[in-house]
Amino acid sequence: MNQPRHNIGQELPVIRQLDDAAANRIAAGEVIERPASAIKELVENAIDADATRIEVDYAGGGKTLIRVTDDGYGIAADQLSLALSRHATSKIDGSDLLNIHTFGFRGEALPSMGAVGRLTITSRARGADAAAMISVSGGETAPVRPAALAKGTVVELRDLFHATPARLKFLRTDRSESMAIADVIKRLAMAEPYVGFTLRDVSDGGQGRVVFRADPCSGDLFDALHARLRSILGKEFAENSVLIDAEREGHTLTGYASLPTYSRGASVAQYMFVNGRPVRDKLLLGALRGAYSDFLSRDRHPAVALFIECEPERVDVNVHPAKAEVRFRDPGLVRGLLVSGLRHALAGAGHRASTTVADATLGAFCPQSTPHAPVYQMDRPSQRAIHAANQFQQPGFGEAVVGYSGRVEQPVGVSDIELGAEEASLTEANPLGAARAQVHENYIIAQTQDGIVIVDQHAAHERLVYEQLKSQMAENTVRAQALLIPEIIELSPSDHALLSTSIEELSRFGLVIEDFGGTAVAVRETPAILGEINATKMVQDILDELTDLSQTQTVKDKLEEILSRVACHGSIRSGRIMRGEEMNALLRQMEATPHSGQCNHGRPTYVELKLADIERLFGRT
């Protein structure tokens, strides 16, 4: 606890002006948090100076040495000492803080570094016939001296924080500081695809080890960006992402976003930029989550590199010393742009599942991954399947979706589906082909014109029910089915209170629940599309979902999460035998339904193997 603050009898405090060195150290506390932040500032300066190639060397995780070399327009000898003084910048004149087109504008980075490390700047200004250098250590500046350098600027920062040991103690291991450095470089490299970057760890004193390298890209902006993203985020991202290009009231959204089937276990691959500036902004990350909430379960995260551009006046970048956060004048508009722009693009990708899925499948089959290539044979219906078929008596199951009776008289065998040759080839022309067999009571094997498709019928059906429910709800045409005997559910007082708040919303998609006295409720109607379901289990699931959902989510987001839960209940479980027409109906339905390439949890609903891939498996090519 704090001591009483009275200093009775002592002298009055004296207010004094801090000297520059102290003021710079304080500023450094905010701007230069760790080696990676110094590197960010230096690379941004190089980009602001129109550099086309930037080299970054570091040693000891950036703690002992940072060196950034660029081929930009340089600094004139007589300006070098000014570059080191606080609030001195060539980028703004101070009259308009809302019209900023450069990374830098605060004039704080170099003086801050000079206050907490040993800083040397060597530069040759464009058109100058010689280079010059200046150094500063612990706030003490040495006079400008002539130096040798053909072009551009080299900034060297040694022994960062040697003057502030307290800060030094907060730094992490060399390894994690190095990782933070690589992350900063990658972010900036994404924002500047036409600039070449090289990152080297020179801790060993010699040539160093190249940690990251991206050559300048060419072509139009989307081509250049795509090439750059391939070198940073990898081939898989490049092949499994969709181009984003949307506009709303003077704000544009461009970039690439992953298909839901190519998702990550953490939000590590989410890169967002505002007017070219890498930001980590809560508003933007929240909007991203909202855009994908339909396709991904909450523990999966999309990979994206997205760029928002707007007039500089419409966004304030001066709300964070390291400029990592921004404030939009119209946050609602930006959120809407992100959500609708992404959803639109993902819908356009239709039922495309990611190639990683097929690759993974092939990997599993490939002779090199298993010493003996498995002999792959289509299953004939097992005894278990025949038994299950005879047992299957669930009328109305899924009828609204695929339009089949749900009753199976005959177990399915390949012969059941042998259609007329002409009809079959017509069906094969469809993207998901003609159903040929069902195996293990859950997988539909279909033949396409140039390959085969394997569908997870449970996952696919779940997605179809969900999309159907959603569109019915949008059109207010959800059909409810009255239960002959209402199902009475006894709830805990807290669950009862929670459910009461949502009764009206739930009735919108056909789940009609009434109070039944005390903390009991009666379920009177259920969504017709689901067929016969266990209402108690569904209500329990909805309660779980309501408990999980944060208060901040919009009603629409909430409803969609609940719908996704509800859809699971109506889905064809695995173990359900299907007839030929049913399977084909399911395939056609999938083709017609947006987002049917993945289930509500982001898992793929089908994989496709091209004939060429299959031939490769058998060493035929």
CA–CA distance, 15 with 22 (Å, rounded to integer):
15
Which window, 38-46, 240-248, 436-444, 566-574, contacts ligand ADP (CB under 6 A)?
38-46
Please tell me what DSSP assigns to residue 161. T
Of residues 81 and 430, the one with the C-beta less far from ligand ADP: 81
Residues 6+ apart with CB under 8 A from 212: 182, 185, 186, 189, 197, 198, 199
Residue 123 binding Mg ion, by CB under 5 A:
no
Of residues 97 and 612, the one with the C-beta less far from ligand ADP: 97
Range list of H helices, 192-306 = 221-233, 235-239, 282-292
Residue 578 binding ligand ADP, by CB under 6 A:
no
Of residues 322 and 366, the one with the C-beta less far from Mg ion: 322
Residue 290's binding partner among ligand ADP, Mg ion, none (Cβ under 5 to 8 angstroms by kind) is none
Which window, 2-10, 39-47, 237-245, 552-560, contacts ligand ADP (CB under 6 A)?
39-47
Q: Out of 58, 105, 328, 466, name the contact with ligand ADP by CB under 6 A.
A: 105
For residue 26, the minimal CB distance to Mg ion (Å) is: 18
Residue 341's binding partner among Mg ion, ligand ADP, none (Cβ under 5 to 8 angstroms by kind) is none
The closest residue (CB) to ligand ADP is: 104
Residue 497: what are its φ and ψ, rounded to 5°? -65, -40
Residue 49 binding ligand ADP, by CB under 6 A:
yes
# chain residues binding Mg ion, by CB under 5 A: 3
Range list of H helices, 98-209 = 109-116, 165-170, 174-191
Site for Mg ion, residues 76 to 115, rule: CB under 5 A: 104, 109
Q: Out of 75, 225, 308, 586, name the contact with ligand ADP by CB under 6 A.
A: 75
CA–CA distance, 538 with 567 (Å, rounded to integer):
10
Of residues 43 and 402, the one with the C-beta less far from ligand ADP: 43
For residue 209, the minimal CB distance to ligand ADP (Å) is: 24
The residue with tokens 């291991």 is: 173
Residue 467 binding ligand ADP, by CB under 6 A:
no
Which three-class secondary structure state does DSSP give residue 546? helix
CA–CA distance, 146 with 133 (Å, rounded to integer):
6
Residue 91 binding ligand ADP, by CB under 6 A:
yes
Tokens of 183: 């992350």
Q: Out of 27, 32, 41, 226, name the contact with ligand ADP by CB under 6 A.
A: 41
Q: Out of 35, 61, 62, 104, name the contact with ligand ADP by CB under 6 A.
A: 104
- Using alpha carbons, select from 440, 451, 418 the residue that is nearest to residue 612: 451
Residue 201 binding ligand ADP, by CB under 6 A:
no
Residue 49's binding partner among ligand ADP, Mg ion, none (Cβ under 5 to 8 angstroms by kind) is ligand ADP
The set of long-range contacts for 481-484, using a CB threshold of 8 Å and a minimum separation of 24, is 481/510, 481/525, 481/526, 481/527, 481/528, 482/524, 482/525, 483/523, 483/524, 483/525, 483/526, 483/535
Of residues 229 and 274, the one with the C-beta less far from ligand ADP: 274
Residue 83's binding partner among ligand ADP, Mg ion, none (Cβ under 5 to 8 angstroms by kind) is ligand ADP
Residues 6+ apart with CB under 8 A from 122: 131, 132, 133, 147, 149, 153, 154, 155, 156
Residue 114 binding ligand ADP, by CB under 6 A:
no
Residue 117 binding ligand ADP, by CB under 6 A:
no
Of residues 37 and 605, the one with the C-beta less far from ligand ADP: 37
Tokens of 449: 């014109």
Please tell me what DSSP assigns to residue 396. T
Residue 427 binding ligand ADP, by CB under 6 A:
no
For residue 231, the minimal CB distance to ligand ADP (Å) is: 24
Site for Mg ion, residues 41 to 80, rule: CB under 5 A: 45
Residue 27 binding ligand ADP, by CB under 6 A:
no
Residue 70: what are its φ and ψ, rounded to 5°? -135, 165
Residues 6+ apart with CB under 8 A from 110: 41, 45, 83, 84, 119, 121, 155
Q: What is the number of residues in the chain?
A: 621
Reading across the β-sheet that carries 520-527, which strands appear in turn? Answer: 480-490, 520-527, 512-515
Of residues 86 and 248, the one with the C-beta less far from ligand ADP: 86
The closest residue (CB) to Mg ion is: 104
Tokens of 42: 């230096």
Q: Out of 83, 100, 190, 385, name the contact with ligand ADP by CB under 6 A.
A: 83
CA–CA distance, 220 with 228 (Å, rounded to integer):
12
Question: What is the x/- site pattern for ligand ADP, positions 148-167, by CB under 6 A?
Answer: -----x--------------
Cβ–Cβ under 8 Å, residues 53 and 71: yes
Please tell me what DSSP assigns to residue 310. -
Residue 106's binding partner among ligand ADP, Mg ion, none (Cβ under 5 to 8 angstroms by kind) is ligand ADP
Q: Out of 66, 109, 225, 259, name the contact with ligand ADP by CB under 6 A.
A: 109
Of residues 46 and 288, the one with the C-beta less far from Mg ion: 46
For residue 123, the minimal CB distance to ligand ADP (Å) is: 6
> What single string gives the DSSP state of each residue in 371-395?
SSPPPP-PPPPPHHHHHHHHH---T
**Binding interface with ligand ADP (CB under 6 A):** 41, 45-46, 49, 70, 72-75, 83, 89-91, 104-110, 153
By CB under 5 A, name the binding residues for Mg ion: 45, 104, 109
